[in-house]
Amino acid sequence: MNAASTPPAVADWVSRFGAAMASPAQADWKTLFGEECYWRDLIALTWNVITLEGRDAIAAMVETQAAAIAAAGFAPDDPALPMTDEAQGWFTFSTATARCRGHVQLRDGLAYILLTATVELIGHEEAGGSRRPDGIEHRAEKGRRTWLDRREQTARTLGYSQQPWCLIVGGGQNGLMLAARLKRLGVPALVIDALDKPGDGWRARYRSLYLHDPVFLDHFPYLPFPDHWPLYTSKDKIADWLEVYARAMEIDFWGGTLCTAARYDESKREWEVTVTRGGQTLKLRPKQLVLATGLSGARYLPKIPGAQDFRGRQYHSADHGSGEGMAGKRCVVIGSNNSAHDICVDLWEHDAQVTMIQRSPTMVVRADTMREVSKNIYYAQPGADIDLADLMFAANPFRPRTAFEKGFTDYLRSVDADFYSRLAKSGFNLWHGEDETGFFMAYYRRAGGYYIDVGGSELIASGQVPVKQGEIAQITADGVRMADGSFLPADVIVYATGYRPMSEWVGQLISPEVEKKVGPCWGLGSGTAGDPGPWEGELRNMWKPTAQQGLWFQGGNLMQARFHSLHLALQLKARMEGLQTPVYRSG
């Protein structure tokens, strides 16, 4: 926009980078990238979600991709944007197929971190803004159809005489946001969910659950929450929003529909997906299959000797509704992550006698502290451009971010030192991760292992919810015997023991062979517990091509669902339109 006032170092780098991209054979990457450098690409250069680490990886990628991608027109973006100063700035460019944005962070004039991201496909833009449809032509015409006629026809035919080009299994926030983007891109998609209505997944969770992220991180694409929306949203309110969103965005949604099997037909290059709907078994034949079934697979229930003999009530945390009616009951909650804590609080609030069994050390971060921190981020500013905010957040690849999170964890430990000290003294087994990089990294590495404290830690610190450490030896008719020989009498046992990995859905729905071929989902390959290497540098298999043609994964929290649904939607649209999408895979 106003290139004149772009910081000169940034303008110069962008110009030289553009020249290198135009003639990669002549490029001297040492003059563009520092010794330590990262290039994170979101489907712009690589048609993949990938971070290249180091000059060699970058040179190899550019050599492979440059000709086909034809990136050009590199120009500094508006210097009034945030994250613009003498050592960093935004730029725009285009490829053979797309309009893209980039951000570079310099150290001594050389790129330390580079982000490139596709924003829209040229000639296949979303039907918004100046491209909004007219809705109607102002003339009489025999046989023309109204909006309702078309919606009713789609309801009658989609999945029957008309096959969806894309089938999305799972109608939570991930499935719906992706479907909304596909709708605006004109990609025929169908969302199926075993539950009846959008939001029912949230409704089924325990009554006291609220979102842990503040509202400004949680917006859905195209339809931001009204500005009186509470800072933290109840699970039932977000459930209603999912329903509202599906309706407002005209998402084609089949509730009460169970996906039982899926098989890829290599010759037809399409899926055959078996579903049951209203007692009827149907075969759907989409070209693309997206699993948006959530980060978790089936419930994980550890096999504990004697569990079958327990005379009280025992259930998985997923079946915990509310603590109502639990007054006076002796409740043992096995587990020490978010759900375990929230259920302990709920039971305590309903006058139960609660004990938590902690089997491994747990990270804790105070929601109130995170709230104070988050007040200062760009997302929270009035009038923030959410799309830009997402790019800003993305301009921090996982390797440098790991170091950043170590520092952030140190910061939290210092501001909440008294809190952590009290909690540790109470017998709670507190840690900050095996490399002390805290809960954010634990989320990316294994989607668990932490508690965002919304009140439970005070109950533990004050002894109102005692914590028992160690493994369980046996469950008896009336309680839990620990490996150290101690005994916890119990009327109720809650297994807050988590879920199986999401990749197991692939084995169940498709085949063990495809599950094995695709490999694990989520995790960075950090080599820490629950996240074996090798280092991947991005979340495995998420929002990008997998080893199985036509199979995609869409998952994560609301922020990730919003941001990465764009990249997945654009990849799907490009394939539907037959655009060249040369996928670059590293390693």
Query: Which residues lie near a copy of itself (CB under 8 A)?
Result: 126-144, 146-149, 151, 184, 207-208, 210, 215, 222-223, 226-234, 236-237, 240-241, 243-244, 247-249, 345, 348-351, 366-368, 371, 382, 453-456, 458-459
- Of the pair 203, 299, the CB lying nearest a copy of itself is at 203
- Of the pair 128, 407, the CB lying nearest a copy of itself is at 128
- Of the pair 279, 325, the CB lying nearest a copy of itself is at 325
Q: What is the DSSP letter of 573?
A: H
- Of the pair 371, 500, the CB lying nearest a copy of itself is at 371
**What residue type is 67 in one-letter code?**
A
- Of the pair 74, 451, the CB lying nearest a copy of itself is at 451
Distance between CA atoms of 319 and 50, rounded to whole angstroms? 38
User: Residue 549 Cβ, how far from a copy of itself at the closest point, in Å?
Assistant: 30
Which residues touch 338 (CB under 8 Å, ≥6 apart)?
212, 448, 450, 451, 452
User: Residue 149 Cβ, how far from a copy of itself at the closest point, in Å?
Assistant: 8
Listing DSSP states for 420-437 in one string gives: HHHHHHTT--B-S-TTS-
Strand order in the sheet with 270-277: 257-265, 270-277, 280-284
Which residues touch 585 (CB under 8 Å, ≥6 apart)?
48, 50
Is 10:105 a contact under the CB 8 Å cutoff?
no
User: Residue 579 Cβ, how far from a copy of itself at the closest point, in Å?
Assistant: 22
- Of the pair 222, 431, the CB lying nearest a copy of itself is at 222
Is 3:11 a contact under the CB 8 Å cutoff?
yes
Distance between CA atoms of 488 and 496, rounded to whole angstroms? 17
User: Residue 349 Cβ, how far from a copy of itself at the closest point, in Å?
Assistant: 5
Assign residue 537 a region (left: φ > 0; alpha: ψ between -120 and 50; beta: otherwise).
Answer: left
User: Residue 505 Cβ, how far from a copy of itself at the closest point, in Å?
Assistant: 30
Q: Which residues pair with 192 in a beta bridge?
A: 169, 254
- Of the pair 171, 545, the CB lying nearest a copy of itself is at 171
Query: Which residue bears the tokens 């994560």?
Result: 556
Taking CA atoms, 8 is separated from 16, 76, 91, in Å, by 12, 10, 13
User: Residue 375 Cβ, how far from a copy of itself at the closest point, in Å?
Assistant: 11
User: Residue 207 Cβ, how far from a copy of itself at the closest point, in Å?
Assistant: 6
Distance between CA atoms of 270 and 274, rounded to whole angstroms? 13
